[in-house]
Chain A
Amino acid sequence: AQSVAQPEDQVNVAEGNPLTVKCTYSVSGNPYLFWYVQYPNRGLQFLLKYITGDNLVKGSYGFEAEFNKSQTSFHLKKPSALVSDSALYFCAVSPETGANNLFFGTGTRLTVIP
């Protein structure tokens, strides 16, 4: 079975400071990992994905994520937070085999304080 855990319901960070949103996963075989962002009353927007290769993945809007196989983690990071980054962030995993369906975490609400 596959699952994703986002241990923090809420993350607050000051504008201009680095931010980290945590994610750990459990999956059989090699994981395909994703980060999505959801703004109020909107659908999910794709940020980045890890398939294979370099453990540091760069995505949209200056976000990046670090894959750590030994810790089964895929934390989302950004060097300098913007107020406009305030939103709900979801980590998701897709199993290596089977159809391309996603298993999501419960989400982390990021608030960037001006």
Chain B
Amino acid sequence: DAGVTQSPTHLIKTRGQQVTLRCSPKSGHDTVSWYQQALGQGPQFIFQYYEEEERQRGNFPDRFSGHQFPNYSSELNVNALLLGDSALYLCASSFGSLAPPYEQYFGPGTRLTVT
């Protein structure tokens, strides 16, 4: 049973560019959440997708957007990259957006470096 997978593992981008990160949830899970973990910090919630819709959003600008596909996989897009966007981006999957508190299963993350 595959866990949460993320691609790519590492990514280097230049300021102003755009990036797309991908996530496949754990088998049987229908909800995907994205988190940003800056160096030395705890993960911060970006947004959550359920039934192909953004259900809840953290305190992140509109440059951060996402999408969920019918197979429950998800993408995180970041436009107009800033140096401060450099971080580990974690995807987490769970079952049921509106029925907390299922534990979330995290992928290994994508390390984004903006130069």
Contacts and interface: CB of A to CB of B under 8 A. Distances in A.
A38 to B, nearest CB: 9
Given A43-B106, A100-B31, A90 B55 contact: no
Interface string A22-65: 00000000001010100001111110010100000000000000
Interface of B (DSSP majority class): loop
B71 interface: no
Interface stretch (B12-20, B38-46, B62-70, B72-80): B38-46
Given A44-B90, A94-B100, A102 B105 contact: no
Contact of B45 (A42, A45, A102): A102
Contacts of A41: 108
Nearest to A103: B45
Q: How large is the interface on A (under 10, 10 to 19, 20 to 34, 35 or more residues)?
A: 20 to 34
B58 A101 contact: yes
A43 B101 contact: no
A26 to B, nearest CB: 15
Interface of B: 4, 31, 33, 35, 40-45, 48, 50, 55-56, 58, 90, 92, 94, 96-109
10 contacts: A42-B108, A43-B107, A44-B92, A51-B101, A100-B102, A101-B56, A102-B33, A104-B35, A106-B40, A107-B41
Interface of A: 4, 32, 34, 36, 41-46, 49, 51, 90, 92, 94, 96, 98-107
